[in-house]
Structure 1
Amino acid sequence: MPHARPATYRIATIEGDGIGPEVARSAMEIVKEACGEAKFYFVMADGGAGHYQKTGDVLPAETAKLCRECDAILHGAAGLPGIVYPDGTEVGNELHLKLRFDLDLYANVRPIKLLKGVTSPLRAFEGGGIDYVIVRENTEGLYASRGAGVLLRGEVASDSLVVTRKGTERVARFAFDLSRKRKGALRDGKRRVTVCDKANILRSYAFFRSICDEVKSDFADIDIDYAYADAMTVHLVKRPDFYDVIVAENMFGDIISDLGAATVGGMGISPSGEIGDRHGLFQGAHGSAPDIAGQDAASPVAAVLSAVMMLRWLSDRHDDESLAGDAARIERAVEAVLGAGDHVPADLGGSARCSGMTRAILSALN
């Protein structure tokens, strides 16, 4: 059921570290231009590795509260070299991990789409031949052991893989619902959910698959398909046009989504959303790239396309069709800029600056 439509959407905005502030500001500027200044209010909030270095807190309580209260969350990037916890794990990751669990953002959504003007290493699929979505279970799997694994006397280490009925059922349902909203796989037009697992080896993955099968019974109009994770790495290279929506356990989803991103131009143009029943966090799939921070050298495309995802999520949640239209306009503007070839970011082989890409997208919007 859609929620009441607010007069102004309040977006908790954590610019974060490295290139995070640059790309977040680009996304904010473009959203305001597309949707109108009055429709969005970006509430700036502290957080990230740099904030931890200064205060000892990667996610302040006031930021966490703001994220719970706002309509959505926009995040730039987090993480800085050498800023780690005593156990060696990176501080930057903790920002969105805390939000992920605090807000129960159980579906990590990674669109894999080849945009016009982008050269793919998979030459056979250029011209728009890649367009699918990976839905990664975001709160369980092997990563549920983060911070809770066992290290015995410096000799033996172990982590547990956690799969629950509730966690799998809801992410599977999310994947089938998403497929129902899409137009199907490019190869044959069929709406299809592919379950990526290792059900032939581990009981936990066999259980994951069985729950997906149970959920399928509520979606007679959607096909179900299966692929072992190792085989999937081959399929995403050889036949990406076969896929519509892929659902996977946390770690496998993490791995195959980066592989998918590489086939459509890389992490610098890959958006992502972490979505729950009440909250959504949106950020580019790339890291904080501190080596180019402050140099106007970053590509804002991933952050801008993440904002597009945010608009579509808000559109669905609040039955606000105007936001879906604005999202489509921004996406078309990005493709127009990349397709023209005059403004190409460095990660795609060009020399366009972050500010130049932003101005070009703004111009294309108008």
Structure 2
Amino acid sequence: MTRPLELRIGVLPGDGIGPEVVPAAELVIDAALASRPDVKITWQRLAIGHEAISRYGTPMPEETLEVLDELDAWILGPHDSASYPDRWRTQLTPGGTIRKRFELFANIRPARAFPGTAAVSPKMDLIVVRENTEGFYADRNMYAGAGEFMPTPDVAMAVGVVTRRACERIAHEAFRLARTRRRRVTIAHKANVLSMTSGLFLETCLDVADRYPEVEVDHQHIDALAALLVRHADAFDVIVAENMFGDILSDLTGELAGSIGNAPSLNTSETKAMAQATHGAAPDIAGLGIANPTAVILSSAMLLRCLGARHEHSALGRTASRIEAAVETVIGQGVCTADLGGTASTAGFIDAVVAAMGS
């Protein structure tokens, strides 16, 4: 028998549809590991968002962060910061606070079309590797203060930050990942216009590429790449991008694959990992029981695979593959939620995935 492994994983349901879809991941993982006595997961439920505001007076309580310090990993639900009380709307979001505290620099976002979905690119199977700590986003480009400011009421400015260190480490993530796939990396950039910032990103990624001679590398201007993805998404394997470009491209590829509701995501540092679906809180359908839990389930499978690699416990990788295969089988059978054109409820879809794993 494989050596025993005990893990503590946090569950942060969040806002909107979060309390409906995040527990689905916990349920599916428990079902997948039910026959594995060598793996024990202890779940730790923690409050963020509206739940935390009502209990602690803040959407991201220090109590939650202190528990996260002690955990192996966690599953983060979506947050609806636009609906928070005024004093919190301009503050760092719960996800942003967690990302900064644990320096989750790599955001891994797969986009794969499942049989049975109305995908624009039915043969696509790619991964966007997004640098997660710098760029133009105002919540992640300053040590203190905001990266956006207005010197006059009619002028708004933004600071974009690119460092060689951050470019190097995200490039290594992309090339290591490509070695396990089809061995091709595409660098997304705009060095023809942003010659210093985007130019540094391109230059650094190409320097890192020299250390991976077995991986083919090319680079594309971000606007041309977006057009190529619409036409030939199946030609791409791993795309590495800075923060904002990666965010935009991963939403695009998620929709090209059938629905952003299927788009998983993993945020990692050298020691911590956080599963987080690409989609938002969707407050308009919260509580209706029709939300698509696919993205959170697949994000959690990515989390298991990551933990399996870090703990050298192959059972977690096999369990992740089993969960992914069950999701693909169920969607292929036409059991899916309304965003994919189906009639299944959230609970009905979860039950079907658990049943598929059992069969």
Q: Shorter-chain TM-score: what band?
A: over 0.9
1:252 aligns to 2:251 (yes or no):
no
Stretches of structure 1 that go unaligned for 5 or more consecutive residues are 185-190
Cα deviation, residue 86, structure 1: 4.8
Q: Is the 8 A contact 1:18 1:80 kept in 2?
A: no
Within the alignment, does 1:195 sit opposite 2:187 as a pair?
yes
How far, CA to CA, are the matches of 2:278 and 2:305 in structure 1? 18
Greater CA deviation, 9-18 or 287-296?
287-296
* Cα distance change on mapping 1:84 and 1:145 into 2, 3 Å: farther
SS in structure 1 at match of 2:8: strand
Matched, 1:217 2:189: no
- Residue by residue over 1:16-49, the C-alpha shift from the partner in whole angstroms, topping out at 9 and shown as x without a partner, is 1111011111110000010128621110001124
TM score, norm. by length of structure 1: 0.91
Alignment-mate amino acid for residue 189 of structure 2: D
1:187 is aligned to: none
Q: Quick one: structure 1 residues 292 and 136, their matched pair in 2 at CA, closer, same or farther if it must change by over 3 Å?
A: same
Partner of 2:345 in structure 1?
353
| 1:53-80 Cα shifts (integer Å, max 9, x gaps) | 6643221112112222111111122115
Give the CA deviation at 1:338.
Answer: 0.7
Please state how far the C-alpha of 1:82 moved relative to its aligned partner. Answer: 2.9
Alignment equivalent of 2:29, drawn from 19, 24, 31: 31
Distance 1:85 1:162 in 2: 28
- After the TM superposition, which residues 1-366 of structure 1 pair with which residues of structure 2 at under 5 Å, given as runs? 7-36=5-34, 39-52=40-53, 55-79=56-80, 81-83=82-84, 85-86=86-87, 89=90, 94-122=93-121, 126=122, 129-143=123-137, 144-145=140-141, 147-182=146-181, 184=182, 191-202=183-194, 203-341=196-334, 343-366=335-358
Deviations 1:308-363 (A, max 9, x none): 1011101111111001111111111111111111x221110111100000100011
Task: Using the TM superposition, give the Cα deviation of residue 121 of structure 1 relative to its aligned residue in structure 2, in angstroms.
Answer: 2.3
Give identity over the alignment, percent. Answer: 38
Q: Judge conservation of contact 2:187–2:218 (CA < 8 Å) in 1.
A: yes
2:85 & 2:277 partners in 1: Cα distance?
22
Cα distance in 2, alignment partners of residues 54 and 163 from structure 1? 38
1:14 deviation in Å? 0.4
* One-letter code aligned to 1:207: L
Any conservation in 1 of the 2:185–2:237 contact (CA below 8 Å)? yes
Amino acid aligned to 2:136:
L
In the alignment, what sits opposite 1:188? Answer: none
Q: Which amino acid aligns with 2:319?
A: D
Cα distance, 1:49–1:168 mapped onto 2, change above 3 Å: farther
Bigger shift: residues 29-38 or 267-276? 29-38
- Compute the RMSD of aligned alpha carbons: 1.7
SS of structure 1 residue aligned to 2:83: coil
Report how far residue 217 of structure 1 moved: 1.4
SS in 2 for 1:309: helix
Q: Secondary structure at the match of 2:84?
A: coil
Give me the TM-score of the superposition, normalised by structure 2.
Answer: 0.92
Q: For 1:104 and 1:213, how far apart are their aligned partners in 2?
A: 24
Q: 1:284 Cα shift?
A: 1.2
Contact persistence 1:149–1:158 (CA under 8 A): yes
- In structure 2, give the amino acid aligned to 1:132: L
Find the aligned partners of 1:303 and 1:287 in 2 and give their Cα distance: 11
Tell me if the contact between 2:110 and 2:125 (Cα under 8 Å) persists in the aligned partners: yes
Between the aligned partners of 1:74 and 1:331, the Cα distance in structure 2 is 17
- Which residue identity does 1:112 align to in structure 2? A
* Cα distance, 1:50 vs structure 2: 4.3
Deviates more, 1:250-259 or 1:31-40: 31-40
- Cα distance in 2 for partners of 1:264, 1:232 equals 16
CA displacement 1:87-142 (0-9 Å, x = unmatched): 954x6x711111111101001110011112212123xxx2xx11010011000011
- 1:364 positional shift: 0.4
Offset at residue 81 of structure 1 (A): 4.5
Distance 2:63 2:87 in 1: 25
